[in-house]
Amino acid sequence: MTEANPDPRPLVASKRVWTTLITNTAYLTGLLTLDHSLKKHKSAYPLVALYTDTFPPEGHKALDIRGIPKKHVRYLLPKVHKDFTNDPRFYDCWSKLTPFSLVEYDRVVQLDSDMMVLRNMDELMEMELDPPRMGGKGNRVFAASHACVCNPLKKPHYPRDWIPEKCAFTLQHGTPDEAQTQGASPSFGLGIPNGGLQVVNPSNEVYRLIEEKLSEESTLDYDFADQSLLGDVFSGRWVALPYTYNALKTLRWEGVHHQIWRDHEVKNIHYILSPKPWDEKPGEHAEESHEWWWKTNLERLSVERSGGIYDRF
């Protein structure tokens, strides 16, 4: 039993689950479309919504009427306050470390709510990772795709070493075929995983290592919250997945990593940054990949309405 998971009773029969964190209704439409996309592509595993105290009653009602299981989790923050004024979204990101504590399941694959599945990726539930008994001491503690450290929008508050030369995806420009099925070494460049998708064998021992780090002042150096912590605590000891499992929409942009991006290979697209697709109107999209989301979202709404579900989400 851990502080993050005081009630480790399973919500579903499956010992393997997808999870997604939800703290407010701003991302709820994304979560609902993510759930629909998993079902559309016939995943054998359920999605469990991890909600914090900040999640409002109308959000709970939306999940309940759609039959999406949900679990209350503690809002995680480091002991020492980190100022994320330039990127307030990172205040919520610490809580994405919670899946490491969900010991009622054998395998948890954490997904961000601004993702959409394009192809079945149930193989993530079976891939080899270190068993919990290794206590986070092995070389396959968890799996994730690399963070893109190119800073294509040239945000001035990003670290100076976030440059294309340090990016693992840049390393793969010359081997695009390989990039569809293999990630670059987890030790390459800055060695930071993207926290949007994490494949985890929950373990109290591993979670204690995370808790210990959250209690240290060194978290002040973590510019990207959860993923900075994971890249530090488990440096070089995680499995790097190919970009296809966490296809940041920016990778597709000309001049970023278009050299490796292939639409038909992407299994799961990640709509990072603003605007989100659901912040736009149908037919008025900031970029082509947002059209893909709207097509799936409209399919979802049609199915829900045929079942008598009408709400603003």
Q: Which CATH number fits the domain that encloses residue 229?
A: 3.90.550.10
Whether residue 107 is contained in a domain is answered as yes
pLDDT at 89: 66
pTM, rounded to two decimals: 0.95
Query: Which own/partner pairs from 175-184 qualify as long-range (CB within 8 Å, at least 24 positions apart)?
Result: 176/259, 176/260, 176/262, 179/242, 179/243, 179/260, 180/242, 180/244, 180/260, 180/262, 180/265, 181/242, 181/244, 182/242, 183/145, 183/146, 183/239, 183/240, 183/241, 183/242, 183/243, 184/146, 184/240
Residue owning tokens 């605007």: 275
pLDDT at 1: 37
Whether residue 175 is contained in a domain is answered as yes
Whether residue 268 is contained in a domain is answered as yes
Print the domain residue range for 168: 16-274
d(CA 298, CA 141): 38
Whether residue 55 is contained in a domain is answered as yes
The pLDDT profile of the chain, 313 residues, written as one tens digit per residue, is: 346 788 899 999 999 999 999 999 999 999 999 999 999 999 999 999 999 999 999 999 999 999 999 999 998 888 887 776 665 666 678 889 999 999 999 999 999 999 999 999 999 999 999 999 999 999 999 999 999 999 999 999 999 999 999 999 999 999 999 999 999 999 999 999 999 999 999 999 999 999 999 999 888 888 888 999 999 999 999 999 999 999 999 999 999 999 999 999 999 999 999 999 999 998 899 899 999 999 999 999 999 999 999 999 9
Whether residue 266 is contained in a domain is answered as yes
Identify which of 73, 72, 75, 67 has the alpha carbon closest to the alpha carbon of residue 35. 67
Tokens of 90: 């990172």
| Secondary structure E strands in 52-155 | 70-72, 107-111, 115-117, 142-145
pLDDT at 38: 98
- What phi and psi values does residue 180 have, to the nearest 5 degrees? -75, -20
d(CA 167, CA 103): 33
Whether residue 1 is contained in a domain is answered as no
pLDDT at 71: 97
Whether residue 10 is contained in a domain is answered as no
Q: How many CA atoms lie within 13 A of 313 on its CB side?
A: 23
Count of structural domains within the chain: 1
Whether residue 185 is contained in a domain is answered as yes
Residue owning tokens 């990772």: 129
Identify which of 271, 202, 273, 261 has the alpha carbon closest to the alpha carbon of residue 37. 271
pLDDT at 88: 60
pLDDT at 90: 66
